[in-house]
Structure 1
Amino acid sequence: MIEVKNLTKSFGDKTVLQDISGTFEQGKTNLIIGASGSGKSVMLKNIVGLFKPDSGEILYNGRNFVNADRDTKTDIRREIGMLFQGGALFDSMNVEQNVKFPLDVLTKMPEDEKLDRVNTMLKKVKLENTNKRMPSEISGGMQKRVGIARALVNSSKYLFCDEPNSGLDPMTSIKIDQLLAEITDEYQITTVIVTHDMNSVMEIGEYILFISNSKKLWEGTSSDIIHSGVQELDEFVFANKLMRKVKAMNG
Structure 2
Amino acid sequence: MGKLDHKIAIVTGAGRGIGRGIAEKLAAEGAVVVVTDVDEQSAVHTAKELGGGSDRHVGLRVDVTDRACVTAMVTAVTERFGRIDVLVNNAGWDKVGPFVDSDEADWDRVIKINLYGVLNTTKAVLPIMVGQGHGHVVNLGSDAGRVGSSGEAVYSAAKGGVIAFTKAVAREMARHQVTVNCVCPGPTDTPLFASIGGDNPKLRDALTKAIPLRRLADPSDLANAVAFFASEEASYITGQTVSVSGGLTMS
TM exceeding 0.5? no
Structure showing the higher helix proportion among its residues: 2
Task: Name the larger-Rg structure.
Answer: 1
Question: What interval of TM-score do these two structures reach, taking the shorter chain for normalisation?
Answer: 0.3 to 0.5
Structure showing the higher strand proportion among its residues: 1
TM-score (norm 2): 0.35
- Point out which structure has higher relative CO (alpha carbons under 8 A, 6+ apart): 1
